[in-house]
Amino acid sequence: MPSRGDSDTATERWRLGDREWGSRLIVGTGGFRSLEQMERALAASGTEIVTVALRRVDPLAQGSVTELIDRLGLFVLPNTAGCYTARDAVRTAKLAREAFRTDWIKLEVIGDDRTLLPDAPELLLAAEELAADGFTVLPYTTDDPVVARRLEETGCAAVMPLGSPIGSGSGIRNPYNFRIIVEQAGVPVICDAGIGTASDATVAMELGCDGVLLASAVSRAADPVLMAGAMRRAVEAGYAARRAGRIPRRLHAQASSPEEGLAELDG
Amino acid sequence: MKVQLNGNEVELADGAAVAQAVASLGVGALTPGVAVAVAGEVVPRAQWTSRRLSDGETVEVVHAVQGG
């Protein structure tokens, strides 16, 4: 296998849905203190895809997220955040398709307002209906390999297991499940939720994820623009390390200097 | 007649269409990134002037906001 320079792996394109992408980092737009700060952070992250939520039009609201995203030339991925049933999620997805002229949807069906964990049965119902209706479905799911497989079977374009609960910043709590999900998946695997800092994103990529989706880790950082740049490099580093092939973990040491040819110095 | 528009009761002329309802929120035919549901079903933009509302119907008008 030819050696690949770091810049090659960083720019290697990948496929999600029916499109090719350069960046493997997807950024949620929630939680930024201002649109101006969001704009600078998105630019620093190098992302090409950003998520938005759908909410009631408020005639008094200032500034437009849509306008900003258009100006930056980014791809809008609407979500179904706030939906607790398959029915609500499907309706929200259809509204998003009408509003943004896109059939891409980040499918969230929440089962519990304290943990914000997905409701797997409702999620599967919604995924099945939306995939059959021609949507490019990107489901936020638990890190359960069986649910991930079932989602793939419904026709989802990716599976997006959570590392830990939304906004918890706790990283990947079950890396073993991630390895199993990655090993069996025939669609891209994107770590969605739980990223707290750059090393969490790197771990996700080292585990074999094709991409990372995060929001709070950047938007609620003390310096979102600085963290956005850190996340870009973290995802690139993890992706390169995964492809480079890490050394096995050992209990004992293995010398890296030769044992032969040591000088006799005790006489 | 009265309809529920984004959670608020509003008074509209009898036979008013979706377009009149959304106009009261400052949304016009050319406003980008907006979608409308009446009684839970999406009303495509092309039907905003033809879809008439009935007394008591629920109209939801949504757009993009910041969100993960």
Question: pLDDT (tens digit, 9 = 90+) per residue, A36-68?
Answer: 999 999 999 999 999 999 999 987 777 788 889
Q: Identify the burial level of A194 via C-beta atoms within 10 angstroms of its C-beta, where 0-12 means exposed, 13-18 middle and 19 or more buried.
A: buried
- Please report the pLDDT score of residue B68 as a whole number: 81
Contacts of B44 in chain A (CB under 8 A): 98
pLDDT tier at B12, thresholds 50, 70, 90: very high
SS3 letters across B6-52? CCEEEECCCCCEHHHHHHCCCCCCCCCCEEEEECCEECCHHHCCCCE
- Identify all chain A residues contacting B7, using CB atoms and an 8 Å cutoff: 56
**What's this model's pTM, rounded to 2 decimal places?**
0.91
Q: Tell me, what's the pLDDT at A69?
A: 93
Tell me what the mean pLDDT of segment B24-33 comes to. Answer: 87
DSSP state of A190: E
User: At A105, is the pLDDT very low, low, confident or very high (cuts 50, 70, 90)?
Assistant: very high
Identify the pLDDT of residue A8: 55
Confidence at residue B31, expressed as pLDDT on a 0 to 100 scale: 84
Q: Which pLDDT band, with edges at 50, 70 and 90, does A267 fall under?
A: confident
Q: How far apart are CA B32 and CA B49, in angstroms?
A: 17
Burial B27-63 (b: 16+ CB within 10 A, else e): beeebebbbbbbeeebbebeebeebebeeebebbbbb
Given the residues A24, A106, A232, A242, the one annotated as active site: A106
Element (H, E) at A160: strand A160-161
Q: Which of A238, A229, A178 is nearest to A27 (CA)?
A: A229
Whether the per-residue pLDDT at A243 is higher than 90: the answer is yes
Categorize the per-residue pLDDT at A259 as very low, low, confident or very high, splitting at 50, 70 and 90.
confident
Residue range A148-176, pLDDT digits in tens: 999 999 999 999 999 999 999 999 999 99
Residue A158: which residues within 8 A CB-CB, separation 6 or more? Answer: A16, A17, A138, A139, A187, A188, A189, A190, A210
Please report how many Cα atoms fall inside a 13 Å half-sphere around the Cα of residue B56, on the Cβ side. 0
Q: Active-site residue A94, yes or no?
A: no
Residue type for position A258: P
A11: pLDDT strictly greater than 50? yes
Sequence-separated (6 or more) residues with CB below 8 Å from residue A133: none
A39 contacts on B by Cβ (under 8 Å): none
Chain A nearest CA to B68, separation (Å): 4
pLDDT of residue B48: 95
pLDDT at A131: 98
CA distance A94 to chain B (A): 7
* Residue A206 · residue A214 · CB < 8 Å: no
Q: What is the mean pLDDT of residues A131-153?
A: 98
In this structure, the number of other CB atoms found within 10 A of the CB of residue A134 comes to 10
| Residue A1 confidence (pLDDT) | 45
At residue A210, does pLDDT exceed 50? Answer: yes
pLDDT at residue A163, as a whole number:
97
| Spatial distance between the Cα atoms of A192 and A164, rounded to a whole number of angstroms | 9
CA distance A123 to A89: 9
Which pLDDT does position A7 carry in this prediction?
Answer: 55
Average pLDDT, chain A: 94
In this prediction, residue B32 carries a pLDDT of 86
Nearest to B6 among A56, A66, A76 (CB): A56
Contact assignment for A29 to B63 by CB distance below 8 Å:
no
Do residue B33 and residue A66 have CB atoms under 8 angstroms apart? yes
Specify the length of chain B in residues. Answer: 68
Return the structure tokens found at B45.
Answer: 């933009």
Higher pLDDT, A140 or A259: A140
Instruction: Pick from A42, A68, A98, A192 the residue to mutate for testing the B interface (most B CBs within 10 Å).
Output: A98
Determine the Cα–Cα distance for residues B21 and A94; give it in Å rounded to an integer: 20
Averaged pLDDT for residues A218-247: 96
| ipTM of this predicted structure | 0.93
How far is A201 from A181, CA to CA, in rounded Å?
Answer: 17
Tell me what pLDDT residue A6 has. 52
Among A47, A46, A52, A82, which Cα is nearest to A67's?
Answer: A52
pLDDT tier, B30 (very low <50, low <70, confident <90, very high otherwise): confident
pLDDT of the residue at A64: 83
Residues of B in contact with A166 (CB under 8 A): 68
